[in-house]
A and B are shown apart, each in its own frame.
Chain A
């Protein structure tokens, strides 16, 4: 663990949901978008510069404001904020990107209309 995933994450990773790595990943995976385009797309949607997408301090504020889910730690818990499947509803809306499990959750829970993005 320390030698491989942690080393890569620290050496070259975007930080996942500590920053905006998960959001950029969705554009690459779902749309086949190359990295510069994916970063530009997400940055535009978040209203930040692409360089901020790997900044955990800047992105914590953005994720909190937009309800995109944050890493929960012993020192910082967010019991009243969106996370996991809840946050993915907002991510799908924000990125204008279908997320498979969100669509299925919506159907299975009987949610008929798309959720509205709130800030």
Chain B
């Protein structure tokens, strides 16, 4: 299930969930449902009693990892080495526990020093990752009025003005962190869970990416989303003439590429009350147009609570490996 709990289902029940999941996504996102052959393949994967599955030999993709350098078992640099040397990670990522650019700014010298030192002992590419996290700029955590308090009061214009002000603060912080990380030798930046606070959050990320790309043409930039749909917390914000509220992954990807991202990460959140089969069919249906129209590599978010991986700290490997293979097999992704 989407919460990680085990459930016993018949093949026909799994088939029904797959069909229901793709239909739900097609209706909601106004995209085509998965084809019969795609659903048949998913049925074979999810009806199999095997504990583990994987892509065909030769079909492997590049993996990016948020949280790989987060001081889980050793120092952060040692954790990165564990991912590189023991887990076979294609790339790794340094980050801090308070995974937000605003928080990073206050310890930027320390973070940049860690980046520099880690680069000396690693061979695989190293990202620096954090979240735009626009909510941190609102009171009581930040300087601008809290739009989540203003909106229920009907103070729409004040709420919008507050978000626009927060965008400017966030862009400044993201660019400042990028400057320091480039100077410290970072291979790439990962803007994780962009759009988490809605369209203003996504706009801030796009504006920051545009500035950073202009400054550093050789810096990798991964822009990963928070969810499948950009919430219209402001409702009227645009980037290059495109209204951000309500965008689905294909349109998000186009703007990310236009801003200067080199990798885009679509995210589809998991319904914890539905089966993994239902969730994978829904996720793949929503992301499929994005991959078909991609102009940059697509690394779908297939982690805890997104991309048909259960919302659990201890995800079962049968569920994760099935989601991993299904995304690659059906979507022909560039990475995860």
Chain A interface (Cβ < 8 Å from any Cβ of B) = 1-19, 21-22, 24-26, 28-35, 38, 50-51, 53-54, 68-69, 71-72, 83-85, 87-88, 91, 98-101, 104-105
Contacts and interface: CB of A to CB of B under 8 A. Distances in A.
Contacts of B186: 100-101
Contacts of B59: 12
B324 interface: yes
Contacts of B320: 3-4, 7-8, 11
A29 B89 contact: no
A105 B116 CA distance: 10
A8 B60 CA distance: 10
A36 B135 CA distance: 38
A13 B297 CA distance: 15
Nearest to B320: A7
Nearest to A15: B88
Nearest to A10: B54
B122 interface: yes
Contacts of A15: 60, 88, 90
20 contacts: A3-B316, A4-B304, A4-B315, A7-B320, A10-B52, A11-B52, A12-B328, A13-B60, A13-B62, A13-B63, A14-B90, A16-B87, A16-B89, A25-B91, A28-B297, A29-B125, A32-B296, A35-B334, A38-B62, A104-B185
Nearest to B188: A29
Binding site secondary structure of chain A: helix
B262 A30 contact: yes
Contacts of B294: 34
A84 B58 contact: no
Interface string B116-148: 100111111100000000000000000000000
Nearest to B186: A100
Nearest to B4: A3
Given A12-B61, A32-B296, A34-B294, A22 B90 contact: yes
B313 to A, nearest CB: 9
Nearest to A28: B297
B175 interface: no
Interface string B176-199: 000000110111100000000000
Interface stretch (B150-158, B216-224, B227-235): B216-224
